[in-house]
Amino acid sequence: MIITKCDNHVKCYSDDMSEEPAGIAELDERIPFLLAQLGSHIATDFQHRLAPIGAQPRTYAVLLALASDDGQSQRRLSERLGIHRNAMVAVIDNLEHGGLVKRQTHPDDRRAFAVTLTAKARRLLPSLHDQGRQLEDEIAAPLSAEERDTLRHLLQRVAACRRPHPRCPSRAGLTAAPLGLRAYDGRPQKKPRIAQNLCSEKV
């Protein structure tokens, strides 16, 4: 064991290990890097979990959104889930082809479609809920119940500040989206303004 002393702090390294380069070690202190790394892992894991029941992360997101508020328009779903409207058309097409949703004339706007769940989709919802809960339990396993609630609250605050909001300005064209759902719309992104009020809420 190699032991070094610097500024009264003792550091220990095994004989077969060298200290990581400063640039790499610094990444582990960067929140965007940690979120991106974890998000990539979770998205891949979630896809594998949903595959046996014939679903995808986008399926999960859209069906759960409709389960809480059936009959939403495609535009509303796009805004709520952070999926670009062009991509949302394709998502709804696939769901309709699979017999999971139906398009109907929207009662408040004849130019829009209301997307509704089918009986087949409602039978699938319990399995989707189970897979989502299992993944969350595994990811949060190292945390106590209190830490889990704190993490959820902090992530919700961060996500809220990525959405257009009168009390919390954010980067144009970006909204918080479920795992693996973001569709880049090709527009140049503006620099975010300083978010206040909601974003600066103290825990």
Decide: residue 99, CB within 10 A, 0-12 exposed, 13-18 middle, 19+ buried.
exposed
* Per-residue confidence (pLDDT) for residue 154, from 0 to 100: 93
Question: How many Cβ atoms are within 10 Å of 2's Cβ, its own excluded?
Answer: 11
What pLDDT does residue 24 have? 67
Placement of tokens 């087949």 in the chain: 120
Domain ranges of the chain: 2-200
- Look at the block and give the residue holding tokens 């998000």: 39
pTM greater than the 0.95 cutoff: no
H or E stretch covering 79: helix 74-81
pLDDT for res 136: 93
Please choose, from the candidates 179, 91, 183, the residue with its C-alpha nearest in 3D space to the C-alpha of residue 135: 179
Beta-ladder partners of 72: 115
Task: Give buried/exposed letters for 133-170 (b at 16+ CB in 10 A, else e).
Answer: eebeeeeeeeeeeeebeeeeeeeebeebbbbeeeebbb
The residue among 101, 47, 97 whose CA lies nearest residue 74 is: 101
SS3 121: helix
Quote the pLDDT of residue 142.
95
**For residue 46, what pLDDT is reported?**
92
- For domain 2-200, which architecture applies? Orthogonal Bundle (1.10)
The kind and range of the H/E element at 145 are helix 145-160
Per-residue pLDDT of the chain (203 residues; tens, 9 = 90+): 433 444 444 344 444 444 555 556 777 788 889 899 898 999 999 999 999 888 888 888 899 999 999 999 988 998 888 888 889 999 999 999 989 999 988 787 777 889 999 999 999 999 999 999 999 999 999 999 999 999 999 998 988 887 654 444 444 444 444 444 443 333 333 433 333 444 444 44
